[in-house]
Amino acid sequence: MLAARLRTGSDMSFALTTDALRDVALAAIERARRGGADQAEAEATQGKGLNVTVRQGELETLEHNVEKSLGVTVYVGGRKGNATSGDFSPQAIATAVDKAITIARHTSADPFAGLADAAQMAREVPDLDLYHPWSLDADRAIAIAQRCEAAGFAVDARIDNSEGASASSNDNEFVYANTHGFCGGYRGSSHYIGCAMVASEGEAMERDDWYTAARVAEAMEDAAAVGRRAGERAVARLGSRKIATQTAPVLFNPTMAAGFLGHGINALYGGALYRKTSFLLDSLGQPIFAPLVDIIDDPFIHRAYASSPFDTEGVACERRAIVERGVVRGYFLSAYSARKLGMRSTGNAGGNHNLVVAPTVAGGLDALARQMGRGLIVTELMGQGVNPVTGDYSRGAAGFWVEGGAIAHPVSEVTIAGNLRELYQRIVAIGDDVDRRGSKHVGSLLIESMQIAGA
């Protein structure tokens, strides 16, 4: 049996034990076998969380959640059916499986459907240190959020409003099993503190935010530091003005850089490729990015949010190059999309893992601003003006105008545009101020030139 070792914690914070969760998934698989399914997979999950939001020092929301679910997918003669249940009783499990089988018998056969190949199932499950529960009760969460917001208000007298501050903690556990004999799972935690502040001056009003997030509560920034950062960012935007329409360098801060590169990553997903809705069709081996760009998909970074020893189909994950010296070396494929493309799963059912973009210079946003000399720093993007088929890119932006390598004034109501294939070739520097709060670990990113539409 290809049973991956289940990772558990020693606390009693979950309603079910890991063994009980495993038994639910395996019971669903066994029922599917007896019901005539050729193949089947099941995922049993449980989770709990606390989320608090305060505004103007007063409690706005207090949410406790405890949840569990079972998802079952069966394959009968190349036909697929799936069903879910929030009830783990034997009768509910049987009902969900039988419903999935009934659905499968009434769908069309698909020669590409089915479990991932048995040979690709994970056999070793390294402990990636993803589970660190935080003993956060409601009173403490409220106090943390209040301290965060108060620090934001204390930054400047011009900060006269708030969109709220939040503190949250969530724990989850899952077990995935399939008829290849694979059964594996693990626990995870995620914690968050953040706030958004509003600054006013005359008729002008600006807002900005900041947050910290980690799997380990102690790894987060202090709540007061988060509030101060949000307040400082809001005040810095006061006095924004338009700029003339022109072509100039554009510098994305790390948060914006992750989204900018994310459009290219999404274009390398198997679903977009086999549907031919990607501007990066047939890009393997092609120099899509500037030669200085290196991107690694790394599922094994301890405590990182997108780490996992296997994907949502049980396929073993691997650390691999996606972009090497600007050349595309890998796609993101599930079993289904891989078969559609005549390839093998890359262990990315469920998406990319931690995308690590190598810095090219020492220093962050300030250093790249000095290198840029004159141009636009982008700290916020608006709108959905990205065409995934053509790569055409046009989005509303706000940020700061740079002259002589230093910030001259804030900027608002501009649009930046170009084609992503061309823009990716114009990347001239990547800073080492890496933002690791999400799945894309990248620093500030400097584009040699973009079209900027202003006044």
Domain that holds residue 449: 240-455
Please tell me whether residues 22 and 165 are part of one structural domain: yes
Name, in order, each residue with C-beta under 8 angstroms of 32's C-beta and a sequence gap of 6 or more. Answer: 40, 42, 72, 74, 97, 100, 101, 179
Sheet order of strands, 440-441 included: 327-328, 320-324, 295-298, 354-357, 440-441
The Cα–Cα gap between 166 and 211 comes to: 9
374 and 278 belong to one structural domain: yes
Whether residue 363 is predicted with pLDDT greater than 80 in this model: the reply is yes
Closest listed residue to residue 295, CA positions, set 344, 355, 348? 355
* Residue 208: closest CA among 259, 253, 142, 168: 253
- Percent residues over pLDDT 70 in the chain: 97
At residue 35's C-alpha, the angle toward residues 34 and 39, to 5°, is 85
CA distance 422 to 165: 40
* Same domain? 330 vs 276: yes
Is 99's pLDDT higher than 70?
yes
Are 225 and 259 in a shared domain? no
What's the CA gap between 161 and 158, in Å, rounded? 9
Q: What is the CATH number of the domain that holds 120?
A: 3.30.2290.10
Given 236, 255, 285, which residue is the final one in a domain?
Answer: 236
- Do 226 and 252 share a domain, yes or no? no
Do 137 and 156 lie in one domain? The reply is yes
209 with 291, same domain? no
Last residue of a domain, one of 220, 236, 252: 236
- Residue 401 resides in a domain: yes
- Report how many domains make up the chain: 2
Assess whether pLDDT exceeds 80 at residue 128: yes
Find the mean pLDDT for residues 265-289: 98
Q: Is residue 8 assigned to a domain? A: no
Residue 295: inside a domain, yes or no? Answer: yes
- Tens digits of residue pLDDT in 200-228: 999 899 999 999 999 999 999 999 999 99
Cα–Cα distance measured from residue 31 to residue 95, given in angstroms and rounded to the nearest whole number: 10
- pTM for the structure as a whole: 0.94
Asked whether the predicted pLDDT for residue 2 surpasses 90, the reply is no
Residue with tokens 């509303």: 396
Which amino acid is residue 292, in one-letter code?
Answer: L
Nearest to 167 by CA among 49, 4, 44, 316: 49
Share of the chain above pLDDT 90, in %: 95
**Does a structural domain hold residue 2?**
no
Q: How far apart are CA 365 and CA 369, in angstroms?
A: 6
Domain annotation covers residue 13: no
φ, ψ (nearest 5 deg) of residue 30: -65, -40
Residues 168 and 276 in one domain: no
**pLDDT tens-digit series, residues 61-98:** 999 999 999 999 999 999 999 999 999 999 999 999 99
Rounded-to-integer distance, Cα 262 and Cα 279, Å: 13
Residues 246 and 231 in one domain: no
Please tell me whether residues 293 and 388 are part of one structural domain: yes
CA dihedral sign of residues 404, 409, 415, 421 = positive
pLDDT tens for 148-173 read 999 999 999 999 999 999 999 999 99
Looking at the domain assignment, is residue 10 inside a domain? Answer: no
**Cα distance between residue 274 and residue 280, in whole Å:** 11
User: 263 and 386 in contact (C-beta within 8 Å)?
Assistant: yes
- One domain, residues 193 and 210: yes
Do both 244 and 230 map to the same domain?
Answer: no
**How far is it, in rounded angstroms, from Cα 39 to Cα 180?**
8
Q: Strand pairing of 440-441 and 354-357?
A: parallel
- What's the residue count for the chain? 455
CA distance 403 to 414: 17
pLDDT in tens, 315-329: 999 999 999 999 999
Res 429 pLDDT > 50: yes
pLDDT band at 12 (very low <50, low <70, confident <90, very high): low
H/E stretch holding 23: helix 18-34
Is the pLDDT at 10 greater than 50, yes or no? Answer: no
Q: Which amino acid is at 16?
A: L
| Angle subtended at Cα 23 by Cα 8 and Cα 107, rounded to the nearest 5 degrees | 115
Average pLDDT over every residue of 124-128: 92
Question: pLDDT grade, residue 291 (50/70/90)?
Answer: very high
Q: Within a 10 A sphere around the Cβ of 1, how many other Cβ atoms?
A: 7
Assigned domain for 144 exists: yes
Point out the domain boundary residue: 236, 268, 285.
Answer: 236
pLDDT-based confidence at 364, cuts 50/70/90? very high
**The residue type at 371:** Q
pLDDT in tens, 416-428: 999 999 999 999 9
**Domain assignment of residue 3, yes or no:** no
404 Cβ contact partners less than 8 Å away, ≥ 6 residues apart:
373, 374
CB contact at 8 A, 403 and 421: no
| DSSP E strands, 157-307 | 159-178, 183-201, 204-214, 246-252, 295-298
Query: pLDDT tens digits for 372-382?
Result: 999 999 999 99
| Mean pLDDT value across the chain | 96
